[in-house]
Structure 1
Amino acid sequence: MPTREVVVDRARQRLETRRALVTEARALFARHGYAAVSLAQIVGAAAVTKGALYHHFESKAALFHVVVEQVQQEVGERVAAAADAHDDPWEQLVAGCRAFLAVSRDPDVQRIMLVDGPAVLGWNEWRAMDEASSARHLTEALVTLIEAGIIARRPVEPLAHLLSGAMNEAALWLARSTDPDDLPAVTEALSRILESLREPR
């Protein structure tokens, strides 16, 4: 029977292997795109065998799912951090939305989360993951604003979906754009949309 030290060491090795696979796969997916990356490239970069990969992930798509989840979580954390830098709930909403658009210009985020994510995982799966990250923060912000009387009382879910959809569409458009002036233009348009929701002061 394995000793406790052996069990702990094996668990640590499994964790390190999984972490290496996710890290190297993410770098390759970001650089070349999902379709152009092979399993052989991933295991070679991670310095493990295909058997080790299949021990943790049933397929390349399953590994990509984890990578997308990781990227979306990081985007959500950056959005939340930008919002939390402000005390005023309205400024929190605006800052969070602007942060989402800004981070969407990151080439790795564009390739993994915005371009390949919906195509590989399917829209429904991708959308469910989005709702668990950035969209959740948006919903929470809208609830706070409605309860404070800053936005008129209305059903939150359709409003959150409309705003989230607009920002995702803008982010996808920015991902295809090479004009540096497009981000300020989109941010300004978004600010006007948000301002239209605000109750008269």
Structure 2
Amino acid sequence: MAKQSKKSAQRQGSQAHVNRREDVLERAGELMAAKGYEGTSMRDIASAVGMLPGSLYYHFPSKEALFLALHERVVSEMAHRVANALEGVEDPWDRLEAASRAHLEGLLQAGNLVAIVSPEFLGDGHEISAAIHAERRSYEAVFRALVDALPLPDEIDRRLLRLHLFGALNWTPTWYESGKGANPSDIAHQIVTVFRYAFEDRH
């Protein structure tokens, strides 16, 4: 019984650690999205979650490590969402639309965390910029493959098409109002349809 109680206590302690870590990431994301990376200190984050600053370092050894974990979580959630949306979809244009819809839904549900994954958020001057860019490139590679699979005329620059698509999708959170006008699915459909019909009309 004593061993069983000890294992149960260890499991509870481990889960409490995970929950506390998630609380820290959530509050850190809110603060950084509002005040910027440089404008948010570890002391600010500790205060927001009701911890002593020293206790925060038990979960994350530095602000850089915390931000990397936060960025990785946001990007991983987006990637998982897109992967699920692509299951069972075969037509290249339909696949691009499904991925675009999932991407847009993820952006809108992330709220202020959208700022965290913006290429401009950190810039290139930080020592963790390379790791951040690598995560972002890994995610964008999915869309690169989707665009490469499209039946397009040879003169079309697929890189520019992908950048145009991301620009349209990533700008949406700045003007979107939930419950007013088109929903995320309609918006993604409209954006992809514009490209699709423009190129299909040329054949």
Partner of residue 98, structure 1 = 101
| TM-score, scaled to structure 2 | 0.65
Contact 1:102/1:183 (CA < 8 Å) preserved in 2? no
Structure 1 residues 170, 80: closer, same or farther in 2, change over 3 A?
A: same
* Of 21, 34, 51, the match for 1:44: 51
Give the CA deviation at 1:86: 0.7
Counterpart check, 1:24 vs 2:26: no
Q: Who is 1:137 aligned against?
A: 142
**Aligned 1:77-156 pairs, distance under 5 A:** 77-106=80-109, 109-112=110-113, 114-118=114-118, 121-123=121-123, 125=129, 129-133=135-139, 135-145=140-150, 150-153=151-154, 154-156=156-158
Read off the aligned partner of 1:155 and give its amino acid letter: D
Q: Which runs of 5+ in 2 are unaligned?
A: 1-13
Using a 3 Å threshold, how does the CA distance of structure 1 residues 192 and 127 change in structure 2: closer, same or farther?
farther
Q: Which amino acid aligns with 1:88?
A: D
Question: Of residues 163, 166, 175 in structure 2, which corresponds to 1:164?
Answer: 166
Aligned 8 A contact 1:151 1:198 in 2: yes
CA separation of 1:138 and 1:51: change in aligned 2, threshold 3 A = closer
**Residues 82, 99 of structure 1: 8 Å contact kept:** yes
Conserved? CA contact 1:142–1:156, under 8 Å: yes
Give the equivalent residue in structure 1 for 2:61.
57
Say if 2:95 and 2:146, in contact at 8 Å, map to a contact too.
yes
User: CA–CA distance in 1 between the matches of 2:56 and 2:28?
Assistant: 17
Identical-pair percentage: 16
How many equivalent pairs are there?
172
Question: Partners of 2:75 and 2:90 in 1: how far apart?
Answer: 25
Once the two structures are superposed, residues 98-144 of structure 1 have per-residue CA deviations (whole angstroms, 9 ceiling, x without a partner) of 121122221xx1221x13444994255566643321x2211010112
Equivalent pair of 1:28/1:42 in contact (CA under 8 Å): yes
Structure 1: gaps (5+ residues): 1-14
Task: State the AA in 2 paired with 1:193.
Answer: V
